[in-house]
Amino acid sequence: ICGIQHLERIGKKLNLFDSLYFCIVTFSTVGFGDVTPETWSSKLFVVAMICVALVVLPIQFEQLAYLWMERQKSGGNYSRHRAQTEKHVVLCVSSLKIDLLMDFLNEFYAHPRLQDYYVVILCPTEMDVQVRRVLQIPMWSQRVIYLQGSALKDQDLLRAKMDDAEACFILSSRCEVDRTSSDHQTILRAWAVKDFAPNCPLYVQILKPENKFHIKFADHVVCEEEFKYAMLALNCICPATSTLITLLVHTSRGQEGQQSPEQWQKMYGRCSGNEVYHIVLEESTFFAEYEGKSFTYASFHAHKKFGVCLIGVRREDNKNILLNPGPRYIMNSTDICFYINITKEENSAFKNQDQQPKSNVSRSFYHGPSRLPVHSIIASMGTVAIDLQDTSCRSASGPTLSLPTEGSKEIRRPSIAPVLEVADTSSIQTCDLLSDQSEDETTPDEEISSNLEYAKGYPPYSPYIGSSPTFCHLLHEKVPFCCLRLDKSCQHNYYEDAKAYGFKNKLIIVAAETAGNGLYNFIVPLRAYYRPKKELNPIVLLLDNPLDDLLRCGVTFAANMVVVDKESTMSAEEDYMADAKTIVNVQTLFRLFSSLSIITELTHPANMRFMQFRAKDCYSLALSKLEKKERERGSNLAFMFRLPFAAGRVFSISMLDTLLYQSFVKDYMISITRLLLGLDTTPGSGFLCSMKITADDLWIRTYARLYQKLCSSTGDVPIGIYRTESQKLTTSESQISISVEEWEDTKDSREQGHHRGNHRNSTSSDQSDHPLLRRKSMQWARRLSRKGPKHSGKTAEKITQQRLNLYRRSERQELAELVKNRMKHLGLSTVGYDEMNDHQSTLSYILINPSPDTRIELNDVVYLIRPDPLAYLPNSEPSRRNSICNVTGQDSREETQL
């Protein structure tokens, strides 16, 4: 208006009212024409304003309309008519972050039958800016409804139509300063929903295990600290268990990494698409023909023909899932089979074998997403070359792949005994594994040096109500509390460091903020009854971690160090900075003890890229680009190619949130995961363990032959491979010494610049020049060397040697010298530190349920589900067997302890 009036002062000299009238008539597209601009400048100005208005006004009107609609939704209702005619679920949270929202939506809508569901979010806070931006996307705006309200108010639950909802998900806020308070809020929400809508299925996430019994009525409960500590514990004995579980509970098509030029990324990405599915045996193409056969027989032949891995079963009249019940279990037509595969059977390209000619059955191929050949590639290995009656008791250290015959090794491939359809009682290992006779055969020296005698039983006390009773190794007598301080002597012993104890096995160190109740779930899997006594690792709790405490607790000869994310640092002003302290501390440990196996838990999965960080590592930069490309393709597992995650060195408990979401479609997933992690024990159900491939085992050649060997000899069912490959050292890790001759020939005037140029090419790429102290030391050594005539020959030779040592020291050598000096100051032995600091760069990754023709390589670690040893007890001892297996346990036991 002002522009028109100003520009028309040389023409008609319009007043303010006429200018207002002209603008309204023009922009409303009426255009009477009684008032028009006359000068060229005012005409050009009107054209420009119209163009701007055509762009700006629609956007502003759209924003106003969306804001009005969102205000209506936040304070409005979810239609009762829609609730009765369409299906919806309710998500209750304290505050909604973009990461949590996207994890839920991506996992929930990954299942085809949930595409028509609506998601109603009930949150007491206003919508976050990032959340609002995402919910404006048409794909989500038509499915997701945000209601601002509290689950504690019946009016808000009525607005969300909770009584008509298919399910209610209640999530805890793990970024709160007080996690116990966050659990209390979750408990009240669960009570309120149960009171308002008692028939609505509840899916609850809780943080602290001691709060779990308050929500025992919920249909599905995931306790964060239980799963976290159990996965950390199994990572120490079965490498990368956290990665294995994470990949199994994520929905994926296995398309990640297929565009990569590297073969390991293609194999790793394809196998990551494997998930757990279920089907009734009589309705299955995979398993119907094995009715009346043993479980082990069905598992092996289903993998041989179809590439699927049968891991568990459940009777129709029993709610307990049995993982690998062993060769004594006979399959029934009504059994529910649980198997691992790229896709569920209903979506596979297999046809019913009854519709095919019998001659072509053995030539069938799998044309599903995984493209796995399932022709009979192992038809030649079914000859009976092993007398099963000579099978001895399973060794204490696990299964072995011993050669069946020596003479057949050079003539042809060693043959393997077939898997029997029905277990022969004479071939089943009926030795009493609970007695551990092989383990008790110790030498007199060992008996004198070790005063600890173990018994097997249930822990007499539970740290919280609701923990599952676990059969494990126990001491006969309780150790005094004063003896639990490793760094302080008491009246019973005088040891003040881990070395003095003379432990037979390597340590497992847990660095945590406090010794909370969740640590119970870390200790119990490592002391489970099926673990041989000789393999029990001492566990050291490090509740504060300065360098001196680390050295005293035996970090230089530890097998694993577990770093638990501290609760006090989980809340930060900037969300992703919550892991800053943990990441930097772990990086310090990595630089000081490069060969130490460090397993870290982080709050945010995005921060995994900072683990073992090297700024100029070309390979890590290439993986970062691959991650971005996979995310652009819509992958929910873009982080899987980060080397620390693939190797099982880092994980985030938030990645297991999908376990709760997936339970809406697969109600058995939480039970199976708890059995795999050892959180629950069911009589007759197997357990997860691992076996390392040595040079003597390479005769097995392929994964299919390995499958048959394990099924026919020990009844174990393999589910995957953890593979480690050697990798060339990057420039940042090389230890190239500085050329002394170049230093000698360099003039003092150009000394500093040449010094920097040499060092940049010779030592760690993380630093561009020497530290000031080292530079001063070199100059001092050089000046002394030029005053050689004033000293004797021996002194001059000594100074020359010192100067050479100063020149040639790398950053790693400096760190090693720092640690050794500190150990000597504390009176600790430095034996073994050099071997521990000898870091070799490796590449490790997981292959879940690989194809039968996958080659077995040296140092592969095979994941096994081993049958329950209690199931092999002789039938002649029913009383003892029943007293051990039949754990009645839950309510009466909890009430007694309470």
Report the C-alpha gap between 382 and 304 in whole angstroms: 12
Clarify whether residues 320 and 204 are in a common domain.
no
What are the CB-based long-range contacts (under 8 Å, 24+) for 776-781? Answer: 777/806, 778/743, 778/803, 778/806, 778/807, 781/806
The residue from 72, 91, 109 where one domain ends is 72
Please state which of the ranges 142-156, 692-706, 808-822 shows the lowest mean pLDDT: 808-822
Q: For residues 887 and 469, is the Cβ–Cβ distance under 8 A?
A: yes
In this prediction, residue 888 carries a pLDDT of 32
In this prediction, residue 314 carries a pLDDT of 95
State the average pLDDT over residues 631-657: 87
Report the C-alpha gap between 410 and 516 in whole angstroms: 57
Please state which of the ranges 175-189, 486-500, 624-638, 866-880 shows the lowest mean pLDDT: 866-880
In this prediction, residue 442 carries a pLDDT of 43
State the average pLDDT over residues 463-478: 85
Is 783 within a domain? no
Is 129 within a domain? yes
Tell me the Ramachandran region of residue 356: left when phi exceeds 0, alpha when psi lies from -120 to 50, beta otherwise: beta
Quote the mean pLDDT of the chain.
78
Is 325 within a domain? yes
Is 773 within a domain? no
Is 673 within a domain? no
C-alpha distance from residue 842 to each of 381, 624, 643, 727, 729 (Å): 34, 18, 9, 5, 9
In this prediction, residue 404 carries a pLDDT of 57
In this prediction, residue 574 carries a pLDDT of 67
Backbone angles phi, psi at 222, to 5 degrees: -120, 115
Q: Which of 9, 21, 23, 30 is nearest to 52 (CA)?
A: 23
Amino acid at 446: E
Structure tokens at 144: 């997701």
Give the 3-state secondary structure of 648-693. CCEEEHHHHHHHHHHCCCCCCHHHHHHHHHCCCCCCCCCEEEEEEC
In this prediction, residue 751 carries a pLDDT of 44
Clarify whether residues 97 and 174 are in a common domain.
yes
Amino acid at 324: N
Clarify whether residues 82 and 191 are in a common domain.
yes
State the average pLDDT over residues 193-203: 95
- 252 has a pLDDT exceeding 60: yes
- 402 has a pLDDT exceeding 80: no
Number of domains in the chain: 3
Clarify whether residues 65 and 83 are in a common domain.
no
Clarify whether residues 82 and 62 are in a common domain.
no
C-alpha distance from residue 698 to each of 399, 427, 454, 702 (Å): 15, 25, 36, 9
In this prediction, residue 71 carries a pLDDT of 65
In this prediction, residue 400 carries a pLDDT of 65
CATH number for the domain spanning 338: value is 3.30.70.1450
In this prediction, residue 689 carries a pLDDT of 93
In this prediction, residue 842 carries a pLDDT of 81
- 197 has a pLDDT exceeding 70: yes
In this prediction, residue 819 carries a pLDDT of 84
Clarify whether residues 80 and 64 are in a common domain.
no
- 788 has a pLDDT exceeding 70: no
Each residue's pLDDT tens digit, 265-320: 999 999 999 999 999 999 999 999 999 999 999 999 999 999 999 999 999 888 89
More confident site: 403 or 91: 91
pLDDT band at 872, cuts 50/70/90?
A: low
pLDDT band at 873, cuts 50/70/90?
A: low
Clarify whether residues 159 and 209 are in a common domain.
yes
- 643 has a pLDDT exceeding 70: yes
The residue from 10, 40, 72 where one domain ends is 72
The residue from 294, 329, 347 where one domain ends is 347
pLDDT band at 224, cuts 50/70/90?
A: very high
Clarify whether residues 35 and 105 are in a common domain.
no
State the average pLDDT over residues 164-171: 94
State the average pLDDT over residues 195-219: 93
State the average pLDDT over residues 104-130: 90
Each residue's pLDDT tens digit, 575-623: 778 888 888 888 888 888 888 899 999 988 888 888 887 777 788 888 8
In this prediction, residue 589 carries a pLDDT of 87
pLDDT band at 398, cuts 50/70/90?
A: low
pLDDT band at 710, cuts 50/70/90?
A: very high
Each residue's pLDDT tens digit, 34-80: 888 888 888 899 899 888 888 888 888 888 887 777 666 665 678 78
Percent of residues, the chain, with pLDDT higher than 90: 35
- 6 has a pLDDT exceeding 60: yes
Is 157 within a domain? yes
Clarify whether residues 32 and 96 are in a common domain.
no
Structure tokens at 687: 């357990």
Buried b / exposed e along 317-343 (16+ C-beta atoms within 10 A): eeeebbbbbbbbbbbeeebbbbbbbbb
Measured from the Cβ of residue 412, the count of other Cβ atoms closer than 10 Å reads 9
- 452 has a pLDDT exceeding 80: no
- 424 has a pLDDT exceeding 70: no
Please state which of the ranges 204-213, 446-455, 497-506 shows the lowest mean pLDDT: 446-455
Residue range(s) defining the domain that contains residue 286:
274-347
Is 55 within a domain? yes
More confident site: 806 or 339: 339
- 734 has a pLDDT exceeding 60: no
CATH number for the domain spanning 170: value is 3.40.50.720
> What are the DSSP calls for 368-433, one per residue?
STT----S-TTGGG-S--S-GGG--PPPTT------S-SGGGTTSPPP-PPPPSS--TTTS--S-T
Clarify whether residues 49 and 113 are in a common domain.
no
Please state which of the ranges 7-21, 201-215, 852-866 shows the lowest mean pLDDT: 7-21
More confident site: 666 or 370: 666
Clarify whether residues 179 and 84 are in a common domain.
yes
pLDDT band at 465, cuts 50/70/90?
A: confident
Give the 3-state secondary structure of 744-782. HHCCHHHHHHHHHHHHHHHCCCCCCCCCHHHHHHHHHHH
Clarify whether residues 98 and 158 are in a common domain.
yes
Is 397 within a domain? no
In this prediction, residue 793 carries a pLDDT of 65
In this prediction, residue 892 carries a pLDDT of 33
State the average pLDDT over residues 825-838: 74
C-alpha distance from residue 56 to each of 43, 47, 63, 134, 506 (Å): 20, 14, 11, 22, 68
